[in-house]
Amino acid sequence: MQCCKSVNLRSRDKRNGLKSLFLEFYPGYRDPETMELRRRRALGMYIYAQPQTAAEKEYNRQIMEKAETIRSQVYVEVLNERYGFFSNDRMKESFLPYFEEQLGKSNTKSMSSYKHFVKFCGGSCSFEELDLPLCRKFMEYLLHARDLKNKKRFISQNSAAAYWNVFRNVLATTYREKRIKENINETLENISYVPTTKESLTLNEVRALYNTPCKYDVLRKAAVFSCMCGLRISDILNLKWENVRTYADGGMYLDFICVKTKRQTIVPISKEAYKLILPKKTEKVFEGLKRNMTFKEMSSWMKQAGIKKHITFHGFRHTYASLQLELGSDIFTVQHLLNHRNVATTQIYVAHADPKTREAASRITLTDVKRRRRSK
């Protein structure tokens, strides 16, 4: 990489009888962040080209003294390979486009975190403004924020915790990429999650859904398929026929990159699940499926099936995990099928369906007590 060997103070004549001051870098330096080649840097300072009075000469002397101080400071930074001088302008850039770019095509919660931050800061926030007090105020905002779509209700604490974690992850990336000078994320507190019961369907309810016509048949197939293999809606939407593979013995499995974890995921599927998604028509398995179908239309379809539970599409993943345990699969097998790194995550999903806890509940019985009463 090209190294800067010297930093010199230069001046350039202006038409109004002034000279503008700038720094000249020799032989130039390529900024490691922007990869731009830097040779000059305007200081925004001016002196009289031909000072006439004592006041003008004194003014020139003071300005040159300040410019020389800046030159010396920049040269020291160059020698130390810190180059903080180059990042000062970038600190004034807006943080919001960077925030949005980091999320990319992330899930709804990630984008909600961004939208809430935009609302919190009034649509304007530079990297320079990102400090500990501002971030803590955003945390307080989330704990009392109203839903962006339904302003009559507040967001739940778990939603606030999810949005906060997204924001903190972006902060950590911002520091790693040297867009901010302090690692703010390290000193921020967590928003704790409130334990909730994971709503799921019984096997009979899944069968009822399968047999109930839906306005969008692709939604019916996707929902039942999720109940049978545990896929998230993001992976359902991305699933292509090239992700459907065949074992040597003829069995079928899915091989894809999980949208949430970015990890390769392999999920065996049954013959029934495979028949459900046939026939092959387009590149995508669930062509025509839209995320917005999983709200109003799905709720209406579930009511037609006689299901009164409040189930989101993610509830079909809970259903898959619960049914697997209820029907005898062990917790570690289910962990692998759900692609969880930690078995504790699986236990949260399916604690109510653990066969061992159900078996333990039946060990204390009143049978012997009843027999004694009869014998008397």
What does the pLDDT look like over 105-133, one tens digit per residue? 556 678 899 999 999 999 999 999 999 99
Is residue 82 located within the same domain as residue 108?
no
For residue 241, the domain's CATH number is: 1.10.443.10
In-domain check, residue 192 = no
Contacts for 119-125 with beta carbons within 8 Å, 24 or more apart? 119/148, 121/96, 123/96, 124/94, 124/96, 125/94, 125/95, 125/96
Which residue in 142, 130, 124 sits closest to 184, CA to CA? Answer: 130
Tell me the mean pLDDT in the region 322-332: 88
In-domain check, residue 77 = yes
- Above 80 in pLDDT, residue 345? no
In-domain check, residue 195 = no
- Above 90 in pLDDT, residue 349? no
Is residue 66 located within the same domain as residue 143?
no
Instruction: Give the model's confidence band at 1: pLDDT under 50 very low, under 70 low, under 90 confident, else very high.
Output: very low
In-domain check, residue 371 = no
Which residue in 114, 121, 112 sits closest to 97, CA to CA? Answer: 114
Cβ atoms of 85 and 74 closer than 8 Å: yes
In-domain check, residue 73 = yes
Give 200's contacts (C-beta < 8 A, 6+ positions apart): 311, 315, 318, 319, 321, 322, 323
What pLDDT was estimated at residue 44?
87
- Above 90 in pLDDT, residue 3? no
Find which of 27-36, 72-81, 239-248, 332-341 is predicted with most confidence, using mean pLDDT: 239-248
What pLDDT was estimated at residue 374?
56
Domain count along the chain: 3
What pLDDT was estimated at residue 7?
87
In the sheet that holds 252-257, the strands lie side by side as 244-246, 252-257, 264-269
Domain that holds residue 298: 203-359
In-domain check, residue 43 = yes
- Between 9 and 350, name the one with better pLDDT: 9
Instruction: Give the model's confidence band at 211: pLDDT under 50 very low, under 70 low, under 90 confident, else very high.
Output: very high
Express as a percent the part of the chain with pLDDT over 90.
60
Query: What CA–CA distance (Å, rounded) separates 82 from 360?
Result: 63
In-domain check, residue 197 = no
pLDDT digits (tens, 9 = 90+) for 279-308: 998 999 999 999 999 989 999 999 999 999
Instruction: Give the model's confidence band at 271: pLDDT under 50 very low, under 70 low, under 90 confident, else very high.
Output: very high
Is residue 321 located within the same domain as residue 354?
yes
Q: Looking at 21, 55, 90, which one is the last position of a domain?
A: 90
- Between 145 and 91, name the one with better pLDDT: 145
Is residue 115 located within the same domain as residue 254?
no
What pLDDT was estimated at residue 367?
63
- Above 80 in pLDDT, residue 78? no
In-domain check, residue 27 = yes
pLDDT digits (tens, 9 = 90+) for 155-190: 999 999 999 999 999 999 999 888 888 899 999 999
Amino acid identity, residue 217?
Answer: D
